[in-house]
Amino acid sequence: MLKKRIIPCLDIKDGRTVKGINFVDIRDAGDPIELATRYVQEGADELVFLDITATVEKRETLAELVENVARAIDIPFTVGGGIQAIADVRRIIAAGADKISLNSAAIKRPELIREIAGEFGSQCVVVAMDVKCIDGRWKVFVKGGREETEWDAIEWAKKAVSLGAGELLLTSMNNDGTKKGFALDITQAICKAVNVPVIASGGAGSKEDFEKLFQETDATGGLAASIFHYNELPIPELKSYLKTKNIPIR
């Protein structure tokens, strides 16, 4: 049986791992290679690196980091943050990433999804969407959650998949940083709307939150950052708990 994936996310700024709380106030959480290696040893199923520096002069640093990560770890990993054009994708894939994730750039120019899927295959293209519930409607936000778009979350999910997105990474801004659990309703609504894997992100605070995610939605993975970084919830403990709840886990 296909296993549910536990995915630690490493937010990278200037080559270091950081974690924002509600997308602001950044704390330093350490050396990304060291942290990534620890996660692999602990049984992480996949890793996501999001570069939140994302300025032109720092891009080369990112490629170097990706090369080092690729040398160090033996599980798949996704790299995102600041990808604007297919040239950025080529550089990151050449450095050894398995997938790239697009966010603002895909909203700005949806055709970019099709171009990348055409060159590297859909399995390589993750579309990350930051969503927020406003007056009962889930809207897509860009630029690290600072800017609201016209897109309804479900409409955008369908559009992204129709253009070739192979996976969606859904972050609920309402839940992110709260540790009160994933946004189950919008996660399941998106799962129902598309036929590609959906990774839920934002709000994980306990092992029960992951249990609910996998029991109440069809999400294929759960992503979290700070609870793993600061060892509040060790991955081995989380995975053995989920196994006792009969959730398929590696």
Partner 1 sequence: MIAIIKYNAGNIRSVQNALDRLGVSSVITDDPETIKAAEKVIFPGVGEAGSAMSYLRERELDRVIRELKQPVLGICLGLQLMCASSEEGSTSCLGIFPNKVVRFQGDAIIPHMGWNALEVKGGSLLNGIRSTDDVYFVHSYYAETGAFTTGIGNYITPFSAVLERDNFYATQFHPEKSAGIGERILQNFLAL
Residues that bind partner 1 (CB under 8 A): 1-3, 5, 40, 45-46, 70-71, 74-76, 93-96, 98, 120-124, 166-167, 195-197, 220-221, 250
Nearer to partner 1, 4 or 132 (CB): 4
Nearer to partner 1, 86 or 133 (CB): 86
* Contact (CB, 8 A) for 51 and 60: no
Shortest Cβ 180–partner 1 spacing (Å): 27
Nearer to partner 1, 68 or 84 (CB): 68
Distance CA 206, CA 42 (A): 17
Shortest Cβ 143–partner 1 spacing (Å): 28
Shortest Cβ 129–partner 1 spacing (Å): 17
Q: Which amino acid is at 37?
A: T
Distance CA 94, CA 98 (A): 9
The dihedrals phi and psi of 164, each to the nearest 5 degrees, come to 120, 10
Nearer to partner 1, 98 or 178 (CB): 98
Nearer to partner 1, 163 or 173 (CB): 163
* Number of residues in the chain: 250
Active-site annotation holder among 11, 45, 88, 209:
11
Active-site annotation holder among 45, 51, 88, 130:
130
Shortest Cβ 152–partner 1 spacing (Å): 22
Q: Is 130 a catalytic residue?
A: yes
Contacts 24+ apart (CB under 8 A), 147-156: 149/107, 151/107, 153/129, 153/186, 153/189, 153/190, 154/189, 154/190, 154/193, 156/107, 156/129
Classified as helix, coil or strand, 230 is coil
Q: Is 176 a catalytic residue?
A: no
Dihedral sign, Cα of residue 154, residue 160, residue 163, residue 168: negative
Shortest Cβ 70–partner 1 spacing (Å): 6
- Close Cβ partners of 104 (under 8 Å, ≥ 6 residues apart): 142, 143
User: Strand locations in 95-161, DSSP E?
Assistant: 99-102, 125-134, 137-142, 147-152
| Structure letter (DSSP) for residue 38 | H
Active site amino acids: 11, 130
